[in-house]
Amino acid sequence: MAARALFDKLWDAHVVQDLGDGWALLHIDRHLMHDLGGGPAFAELARRGLNLHDPELTFATADHAVSSKPGRTASTFPLGGRLHAALRDGARASGVRFFDLGTAGQGIVHVMGPELGIVLPGLSVVCTDSHTCTNGGLGALAFGIGSSESVHVLATQTLRQQKPRRMRIRCEGRLGAGVTAKDLALHIIGRLGAAAGVGHAIEFAGPAVEALEVEARLTLCNLAVELGARFGLVAPDESTIAWVRGKPWAPEGAAFEAAARDWRTLASDADAVFDREVSIDAAQVRPTVTWGTSPEHAIAIDACIPEPASLGARAEEGAAALAYMGLQPNAPIAGTPIDWVFIGSCANSRLSDLRAAAAVVGSRKVAPGVNAWVVPGSEIVKREAEAEGLHRLFIEAGFQWREPGCSMCVAANGEQVPPGQRSVSTSNRNFVGRQGPGARTHLASPAVAAAAAIAGCITDPRNLA
Ligand SMILES: CC(C)[C@H](C(=O)O)[C@@H](O)C(=O)O
Ligand code: SF4
């Protein structure tokens, strides 16, 4: 058989029927639903008089529109309460497992899937959400879909898809001390541009990726869509297998060992051919932040804000971004005063992220005037963090310790950065108005966000006094 890339192996394993012209009907192993898309999909299924094909392969949780206020209930944010009820009732009526607020399993859909072992290496995974590519960090064939596709999956457990081209980003060398997967992701997007992966499935490979912990690989793949790719992938290895072992929905005993043997075959063949290959020197990556209104507006934290003219064809866009962000070209980005810090989102709200932020905070205090929030990605993350006392460390420092959900990443639950105020956020999108109308967002790692909270300005955590 011809040499195949990891993506080819995953794709081939799910083809039910080749439809020609690069199209295939794929089997879908896991369908995840959230509060924005879930209720409407169940309603459409009912309107068309269709039944669920495999309710046990679909899982639902409310994340986008739920309040993260301590002690919240579903109706703390009333619109979110209605979406939550529609999802819960649709799931119950059709036999789909729904993880309700306050129970283990609730959380940001891309956090709870892997942590429960619902998502496993080699599985095909869909959700009506562009960051479904996060799950590719385990070696799953995971991609975001639209709402009518979600109804198709509910009714048939299959989906018609066109195979994307294959791209490999090899990260050579090692990341330096204090440099994280988030910095690597922002660095790559800054170098290649936000459209570099359009039409491609991106495999992240090379020694710097192999050295990443599994949760960091989820962070890296989370940002594949900010390169324009619907799929991000890291080949599963022994650390993946160790991470997945013992997760509630993962197979057990002999079934796990058999699955693990299969997962070990999920790597690109040595002579696999890619449509595009890029090489990144990981040792060159520094803590990285964005200065503008696209994730590609990323620079090293010790660099200066660019002059729009230096952006060539993008000069006009860059000037508009600077105006929106209230920044001057050629000034160092470090030292920019900030008003908000948001540590959360499916990019960086796992236990390892909260530990990294806590390590920077230590016994220091949040700077006066800064509103700093920690929003754990899931109920399980929240409980694990509390068991380690991280919540106490954050609260004593002056952070708010909140309930799991998307919260201020997209502000769909009414939690917004006020107009004109500046936020350092561990999320993945800094678009105009993303954290609220007029809000100014700088994307960064949990360590950089924590350092900003302490210093009151954008600060390299490695230089924090
Ligand atoms: C609401 C949802 C459809 C959207 C997405 O697809 O990613 C959101 O999660 C986001 O991050 O912008
Ligand atoms: S945390 Fe943000 S990026 Fe992730 S699913 Fe929620 S809104 Fe989308």
Task: List the Cα angle 317/143/181 in 5-degree steps.
Answer: 65
Which amino acid, 162?
Q
pLDDT in tens, 213-242: 999 999 999 999 999 999 999 999 999 999
- Ligand 2: residue of 346, 373, 443 to mutate (most ligand atoms within 8 A of CB) is 346
CATH architecture of the domain covering 288-463: 2-Layer Sandwich (3.30)
Cβ–ligand 1 contact at 36 (below 6 Å): yes
Strands 200-205 and 231-233: parallel
Cβ–ligand 1 contact at 168 (below 6 Å): no
What are the extents of the domains in the chain?
6-164+237-258, 165-236+268-284, 288-463
Taking the centre of ligand 1 as the mean of its atom positions, its distance from the CA of residue 382, in whole angstroms, is 22
Confidence of residue 18 (pLDDT cuts 50, 70, 90): very high
pLDDT in tens, 97-120: 999 999 999 999 999 999 999 999
Cβ–ligand 2 contact at 86 (below 6 Å): no
The pLDDT, as a whole number, for residue 43 is 97
pLDDT in tens, 320-361: 999 999 999 999 999 999 999 999 999 999 999 999 999 999
Ligand 1 nearest atom to the CA of residue 428, by list position: 11
Which ipTM did the prediction report?
Answer: 0.98
Q: Could you give the percent of the chain with pLDDT greater than 90?
A: 99
Give buried/exposed letters for 99-116 (b at 16+ CB in 10 A, else e): bbbeeebbbbbbbbbbbb
pLDDT over 80 at 440, yes or no: yes
Cβ–ligand 2 contact at 268 (below 6 Å): no
Cβ–ligand 1 contact at 131 (below 6 Å): yes
The pLDDT, as a whole number, for residue 383 is 98
Helix (H, G, I), strand (E, B) or coil at 91: helix
Cβ–ligand 2 contact at 325 (below 6 Å): no
DSSP 95-159: T-EEE-TTSBTBB-HHHHHHHHTSS-TT-EEEESSGGGGGGGGGT-EEEE--HHHHHHHHHHSEE
- Read off the tokens for 42: 């169940």
Q: What is the mean pLDDT of residues 431-458?
A: 98
Ligand 2 nearest atom to the CA of residue 349, by list position: 1
Q: Could you tell me the CATH superfamily of domain 6-164+237-258?
A: Aconitase, domain 3 (3.30.499.10)
Q: Which helix (H) or strand (E) holds 189?
A: helix 181-192
Domain covering 165-236+268-284 in this structure, CATH number: 3.40.1060.10
Q: Which helix (H) or strand (E) holds 19?
A: strand 15-20
Task: List the Cα angle 283/447/388 in 5-degree steps.
Answer: 125
Rounded-to-integer distance, Cα 329 and Cα 311, Å: 12
Give the residue among 349, 347, 362, 339 at the shortest CA–CA distance from 68. 349
CA distances for 213 relative to 26, 216, 219, 304, 394, angstroms: 30, 5, 10, 31, 24
Taking the centre of ligand 2 as the mean of its atom positions, its distance from the CA of residue 206, in whole angstroms, is 27
Q: Do domains 6-164+237-258 and 288-463 have the same CATH topology?
A: yes
Rounded-to-integer distance, Cα 64 and Cα 39, Å: 13
The pLDDT, as a whole number, for residue 1 is 74
The pLDDT, as a whole number, for residue 84 is 98
pLDDT in tens, 272-298: 999 999 999 999 999 999 999 999 999
CB 154 within 8 A of CB 52: yes
Confidence of residue 380 (pLDDT cuts 50, 70, 90): very high
Rounded-to-integer distance, Cα 362 and Cα 339, Å: 21
pLDDT over 90 at 465, yes or no: no
Cβ–ligand 2 contact at 410 (below 6 Å): yes
Q: pTM for this structure?
A: 0.98
The pLDDT, as a whole number, for residue 245 is 98
